[in-house]
Structure 1
Amino acid sequence: MEQCDTPLPLPLHPHHIPELVVSGAELRARGVTPGRAAQQCRAGGPWQVLLPGVYLLRSGPVTGEERLRAALLYAGRPAVPAQRNDSAPYGQAMVTGLAALALHGFSGVPPLSTLDVIDVLVPRTRRLRSTGCVRLVRGQVLPIAEEAGGVPVAPVARALADAVAGLTDAPQRVRLLLTEAVRGGCEPAAVVRELSDARLLDQPHVMDAVDLLLAEGRALAEGRLYALVRASGLPEPLWNVDLRLPGGPHLGGVDAYWPDQAVAVELDTRAPRHDEDALRSEYAHKRDVLERLGITVVHITPRKLRDAPEQQAVVVRTALMAAADREPAAYVVALPR
């Protein structure tokens, strides 16, 4: 029987450091036949099989990083080495679910080394099955992968949706993960959109968590708006008011209103809904009504407020300064809401 007692020189590829996890196709490209690989992986041998067609070129306990790379290699490797893209060695595959959240640094997720299952997002057309520690999550349209821990991972919003899909019996954990995501800077609207696309919003425990998520997101956005006004030296507005015509109908609520300049700021914290067109029409109607009365409405999204507060301060200041050049606005009553 053919013997191969000397391990192959490592790393096999400079982009994997250390390159201990390799595919059978890579071994064949280096002249290692399936028979030689099998011999190396026999009991007491220097190698071991991690997943079908994926080998660890050493013996001993498997680390969390090695399991992770094995999962990606299994899910994303090309059929033949010639198809390999050195800049994307795992093809379109990316880590998602709890494993991705662990790589993103979520404190509410167990360490990667303790997870029994690693979710890997792959195109819907990928002809593979879940096996071992790998659970394949198929997607019609894949997001642009981010990098964390040296491997491709799904963005937080998508990873959250895939994690929530597997936490059907853990409502408290779902709430904690969504809250941590928002506090870490993830846009609530993006999270809700992913949950909706995954058809998870019809589950009561998910909807309860989403209500808390949106409330948390609005509170954070309001806090940033308060800080923006004060740090930029803008005049103090009336906060969180409903506008009405004297003795007339309700015109709508705004987050900040400067009555002397007739300028209103509205935080756009809407979450995606099935009736998105109707919701957009409702917001547009309110804005049209206010602007016909001479009130300037400045819409600010939480993302812009977080990422470019100085720019948003300039927009508000410009609107306040332009008030002197406009026709006087209709008188409206501002009531606390």
Structure 2
Amino acid sequence: MRRGQWAKERERLWAASHEGVISIDDLVALGVPERTAYRRTQEDGPWTLLAPATFLLSNGEPTRRQLEIAALVYAGDGAVLTGWGGARHYGLRRGAVPESVHVLISWDRSVLSTPTITVERTRRLPRAIVRDGLAVAPLVRCLTDGARRTKDLTEIAAVFAEAVQKRQVLAEALRTELDCGSRKGTAAPRRVLIAVEAGVWSAAEYETREFWLSWDDLPEIEWNTTIYDEDGLFLAVADGLVREVGLVLQVDSVEHHFATPEQVQQTLEYHRRLRAAGLHVLGIRPAQRRDDPGGLHTDILDALDVARLLPPPRVRYEARTA
């Protein structure tokens, strides 16, 4: 085929593809013999085989979007993206997106998974929602499907908390979805959901809550409580609050030496506001939980003792729900 003819054919095929992704059936319908199509995916060929019978009309590295399109083309009618990757199409950014694209298909169909595409059959195939031009499961389903395949509790907490804090889903909706779907792999997300329903807003807060609950001698604590002064003016949202003694926990998500000057200044101002109202503040860093749990426990007990000696704080509290 001459260069000019090849360029015209490539333009014609690309126009018929989904951003360069096309099935063998469509190629044959467009006049490309099956044998020719597969030959073009061989070494140094112009095309790439992304999945069985699913082609990329170039030999470059496919983008994540092209891999998702290929997964939908390969999985066929009714397939939808799900999991952490699907959640990205709703603007969420927490959680590591697996290299494999996760798609759902109807239970009565049979499509095998590949090294780059995880095909899950389900009796509860959700209605597709078009996000960024692609068929995606509803966000609550993406979150629970991703959580079922994730063992890291902190990662699950980060994703769940982001979605709930942004008011994109309700904690109750996550629990309902976990109850309605397969029980396989739901132990970890159910444990995390208890913390989210208790008001935890971040992975760092989740880890701190787990640490707190591991000690029998620590009192009841609440999370993300809004604090006002005596005149009703907003002071802060306390990451953690022991209301009975007026102790506030500030849960840092990064180590102090990684904080920017602006973050350091904001922390100082946060402490001053709360201390001026009669509250005692204790900052907790990730390294303390990880490297010196016994020392952190002692620091908390000391802070509780100090808080008990102080006069009652001049504040009002308003609990914030998940």
Q: Do both proteins adopt the same fold according to a TM-score greater than 0.5, normalized to the shorter chain? A: yes
2:11 aligned partner, one-letter code: L
Q: What TM-score results when the alignment is normalised by the length of structure 2? A: 0.57
Deviation for aligned residue 1:147:
2.0
Q: Which residue pairs with 2:110 in the alignment?
A: 127
2:160 alignment partner AA: L
Provide the residue aligned with 1:21 in structure 2. Answer: 21
Structure 1 runs of 4+ aligned residues shifted over 6 Å read: 2-5, 217-220
Corresponding residue number in structure 2 for 1:206: 189
Alignment of 1:30-179 (within 5 A): 30-76=30-76, 91-110=77-96, 115-167=98-150, 169-179=151-161
Cα distance, 1:203 vs structure 2? 5.2
| Aligned partner of residue 45 in structure 1, secondary structure | coil
- Taking structure 1 as reference, are residues 17 and 52 closer, same or farther at Cα in structure 2, changes over 3 Å only? closer
- Cα 1:199–1:29 change in 2 (3 A) is closer
CA shift at 1:213, angstroms?
2.2
Measured against aligned partners, the alpha-carbon deviations of 1:119-178 in whole angstroms (never above 9, x if no partner) come to 0011111111111211012221222222222211111110111101111x2111111111
Q: Which position in structure 1 is the counterpart of 2:179?
A: 196
TM-score by length of 1: 0.54
After TM superposition, list the pairs within 5 Å mapping 1:269-280 onto structure 2. Answer: none
Q: Give the deviation of 1:15 after TM superposition.
A: 8.0
SS of the counterpart of 1:216?
coil
Residue correspondences, number = 208
Q: CA deviation at 1:26?
A: 0.2
Q: CA RMSD in A?
A: 3.5
1:184 is matched with 166
User: How far did 1:199 drift?
Assistant: 3.9
Instruction: Kindly indicate whether the alpha-carbon contact (under 8 Å) linking 2:75 and 2:105 is maintained by their aligned counterparts in 1.
Output: yes
The 2-side partners of 1:204 and 1:139 are apart by 19
**CA distance in 1 between partners of 2:43 and 2:189 (Å):** 47
In 1, distance between residues paired with 2:70 and 2:185? 35
* Distance change (3 Å), C-alpha of 1:155 and 1:31: same
Q: Residue 116 of structure 1: SS of its match in structure 2? A: coil
> Matched residue of 1:31: which SS?
coil
1:21–1:29 Cα change, 3 Å: same
Q: Secondary structure at the match of 1:6?
A: helix
Q: Give the unaligned 5+ runs of structure 2.
A: 202-221, 227-231, 233-322
The answer to whether the 8 Å contact 2:95/2:158 transfers is no
